[in-house]
Structure 1
Amino acid sequence: MKVKVSYAGEKLSLHISEETRVDSFAPRMVEESLSFDVFRNELEQLARTPQFQSSRLLTVVNDGHRNTPTSTLIDWLSRIDETYLGRTDFLVATGTHEPPTEDHYHKIFGPFLDKVRNRVHYHSAIEDENLFELGTDSMGEKVYINKMVRDYPAILAIGSVEPHYFAGFTGGRKSFFPGLSDMATTVRNHNMASSLDAAPLRLDGNPVAEHMQEIIDLLPLEKIIALQTVHGAENQLAGCYWGSLAGAFQQAIAKARKIFVYQVNKVYDIILAEILPPLDSNLYQAQKALENCQSAIKDGGAIIIFSECGDGIGSRFFYDLAKKWDRKRNAATDGKQYFGSHKLARVNLMSRRINIYLHSSLKPEEIRRVFYEPLDNPQDFIYSRVTKSKKSNIAVVHDAAHTVLCA
């Protein structure tokens, strides 16, 4: 039989023996993508809130690394209230990412970019002059956040919710933390992800998610409303929810579980995991597929991640740190925690149980440096593995950066 996975903008065909059991998983389709007419009544209720009606409204949006349909929501809000675009400023929640590129701005704002460009701002986690002290976390450390959160009387947070490999879920509180916070606080939080208790779908008992929540509790939540979306297969708009930051987030989580999560009653010898744009752009993002699938791989089994990584490494924090990583101790050689420690620690731990391969355009030495093995010819690998074990179980996971297998 033949299976197809997306890679570098094309479909890559792989032949698998008819004797081999192959299961396929992907985000579930919805009967009909949500439209303005369907959601209109909800939007009208949102538009009547005192927060939305503020004459000085700040709209916080995701950066270009997410598939949030920001421009669609801006259009819908403008159709409900024609004054919206004229009285809101926009803040792009970049977190620790680089500033948005021109392509990202066009992706975020679409046809509205020219109208709002002079009122669009982006967050920097390292520019202290743009931050103010929000409070102190449970570690006794100060937490800083973008000054615009303090300076505006009302805030609308637009986001999208899907599983996240160590925060449990994206969306909701992530617009503010780490989206608008300082680098040091983000580093403290992300270093908690060295624990595998920080896992997809998990909020309670997840040290990363719990630390995020204590920071969110420091915010002036009464002036914040949220508009959260969930996507199905092929970027269908499967759900859209508004309310308090926590309320909209929880509604979206319930929908996201139905779209992205599969309970499986077995483990697999091989998982073929494709990553779709924009998350196939670099090595930094490739880990999402590994994390979402690893629990469904048998001990000694293998995962092949298909990600072009056309933009190269991505964030270099973890990549440069790998030079001084002691794999036996699973820590930096100097014993210190750094931004990026969590990524190396997690992949290294998983590599002790399963074999992790990456099919990409990167150089082999770049891939091996962060504990993956390069794989030029997935077909030969499949032939060799299946030949050794005629009873192999294989799973094909489409959009593996979002689809989660729970064994």
Structure 2
Amino acid sequence: MSRVGGPGRVLTDDEVISFVAESLAGLDADGRSVCVLVPDATRVCPLPLLVGAVHRALHGRVSRLTVLVALGTHPAMTALDEHVGGPYPDTVVINHEWWDPATFADLGTIPSGRIEELSAGRMTGDVRVRLNRAVVDHDIALVVGPVLPHEVVGMSGGNKYFFPGVAGQEIIDVSHWLGALITSAEIIGTTGTTPVRALIDDGAALIPAACHALSVVTAHEGGLHSVSFGDCVSSWADAASVSAATHVTYLDQPVDRVLSLVPEMYGEIWTGAKGFYKVEPVVADGGEVILYAPHIRTLADSHPQIYEVGYHCRDYFTEQWERFSHIHWGVLAHSTHLRGAGTWSAADGERLRVNVTLATSIPPDVCAAVNLGYRDPGTIDVAGFDGLVVPRAGEMLFRLR
């Protein structure tokens, strides 16, 4: 594993390009095919710089070069060449077409005993491992993307670009529900190997391609703090240590109100909910988080089941499992992540620690139907807001000292 940069640095473009060239010069890639996995537009990352550097380092050496956008279950991207800074000669850029069963190759299963171990007995059953066949059909898989605090796995990046980035529904559901059982507030920002990280590492061990990663840490003022190169575990772990030093803001005491200014790269609540995940740890009991995003008009077009179940705490589902086990567990996980900590019992109903209010273009009746508060965004004075205002919400994690 090697790295350029660190928490106290912002790299120049030339430093990034030189490091990528030096790193890939030693890669056994001559005459072999390479699949480059990159994030979609919901991740802040100078992809044109990085993919351009990768292309310069590999073009003419490799037999085939494919760039695969790791959508997870996000909507398909358009203008793919523009997204990665192309077009590039002899290079194909494709979406991960998660909606098409023909997309996937079957790699085997993770056995039930391992799932029971990772979940401390709360989950059981073999997990089928399916992966985009573009990864399987290439000799080398190269992950290129950012590492930052994440609500499901602890820190994003590394093998997460395979699972759930270009994975089948089965392991997506299990990994996300496992994270939900642990809870977002407990797992987010954890730099070690969380149970969810261990699960996706197990899935990655089944990949026949040789896997490497250029794991980057973005700087809030633009550019990159660092780039780490190595296998998908060591490069991720190194970048996670840099992210922990740069992407976490510590407060001395809880706050009663938070106004999260959700950037336009999050086009629906499915992704815009990061504006809640990243601040939940610092909100006082009974406090409120307002997601301010006038541009958002929908909860999740690709996941209509969220309209059916609404937003609730973890125990609301686990204590009524017979009602909800048929719902995609990834949807249930998203629901619990946005609603945060709470309790449910048949006698007392649901009691939630934090109030969540949408100041979006989603109508008040829809908000009420899914158990969220509503606020007309036109009534909010951002400059005069009495509470914590978070610009570009969803990137910086807030914690109490």
TM-score, with length taken from structure 1: 0.79
Of 334, 342, 358, the match for 2:333 = 342
User: Which residue of structure 1 lines up, in the alignment, with residue 94 of structure 2?
Assistant: 121
Tell me, in whole angstroms, the C-alpha distance in 2 between the residues paired with 1:366 and 1:85.
51
Instruction: State which drifts further: 33-42 or 397-406.
Output: 33-42
Instruction: Give 3-state SS (helix, strand or coil) of 1:235's partner.
Output: coil
Match of 1:108 in 2: 83
Aligned CA distance change for structure 1 residues 285 and 158 (closer, same or farther; 3 Å): same
**Distance change in 2, residues 1:68/1:332 (3 Å):** farther
Once the two structures are superposed, residues 331-367 of structure 1 have per-residue CA deviations (whole angstroms, 9 ceiling, x without a partner) of 5772315220112234445471122122112211222
Displacement of 1:379: 4.1
3-state SS of 2:217 partner: strand
1:157 alignment partner, SS class? strand
- Per chain length, whose mean CA-contact separation is higher, i.e. which structure has more relative contact order (CA < 8 Å, sep 6+)? 1
Deviations 1:96-145 (A, max 9, x none): 2232223xx144222x126457x223323343333222121143222111
In structure 2, the residue matched to 1:21 is none
Q: Say if 2:13 and 2:49, in contact at 8 Å, map to a contact too.
A: no
The Cα of 1:177 is off from its aligned counterpart by 0.6
Partner AA of 1:55 in structure 2: R
Give the direction of change, closer, same or farther, for the CA distance of 1:248–1:59 in structure 2 (3 Å limit): same
Name the count of aligned residue pairs.
363
| Cα 1:53–1:73 shift into 2, 3 Å | farther
Classify the secondary structure of the residue corresponding to 1:250: helix
What residue identity is the alignment partner of 2:254? V
Secondary structure of the structure 2 residue equivalent to 1:71: helix
Query: What is the alpha-carbon distance in structure 2 between the residues aligned to residue 145 and residue 207 of structure 1?
Result: 20
Kindly report which structure 2 residues correspond to 1:7-406, keeping only aligned pairs within 5 A, or say none: 33-80=10-57, 83=60, 87-102=64-79, 105-110=80-85, 112-113=86-87, 115=89, 119-139=92-112, 140-198=126-184, 199-202=187-190, 204=192, 206-220=194-208, 223-279=210-266, 281-310=267-296, 312-314=298-300, 315-322=302-309, 329-330=316-317, 331=320, 334-339=323-328, 340-350=331-341, 352-376=352-376, 377-379=379-381, 394-406=387-399
Distance 2:278 2:264 in 1: 17
CA distance in 2, matches of 1:152, 1:82: 15
How big is the shift at 1:245?
A: 0.8
Q: Which moved more, 1:85-94 or 1:176-185?
A: 85-94
Unpaired runs of at least 5, structure 2: 1-5, 113-125, 343-351
Mean Cα deviation higher: 178-187 or 332-341? 332-341
Structure 1: unaligned runs, 5 residues or longer: 1-28, 387-393
Deviation at 1:404, TM superposition (A): 0.8
Tell me, in whole angstroms, the C-alpha distance in 2 between the residues paired with 1:245 and 1:130.
Answer: 23
One-letter amino acid matched to 2:60: T
- The TM-score with structure 2 as length reference comes to 0.80
**Farther-moved stretch of structure 1 (212-221 vs 147-156):** 212-221
Deviations 1:175-217 (A, max 9, x none): 1111121112211222223324443112657443332222123
> Do the aligned partners of 1:283 and 1:309 also contact (CA within 8 Å) in 2?
no
Separation (CA, whole Å) in 1 of partners of 2:262 and 2:312:
27
Name the structure 2 match of 1:14.
Answer: none
Q: Residues 33 and 62 of structure 2 are in contact (CA less than 8 Å); yes or no, is this contact kept in structure 1?
A: no
Letter of the structure 1 residue corresponding to residue 222 of structure 2: N
State, as a whole percentage, how many aligned pairs show the same letter.
20
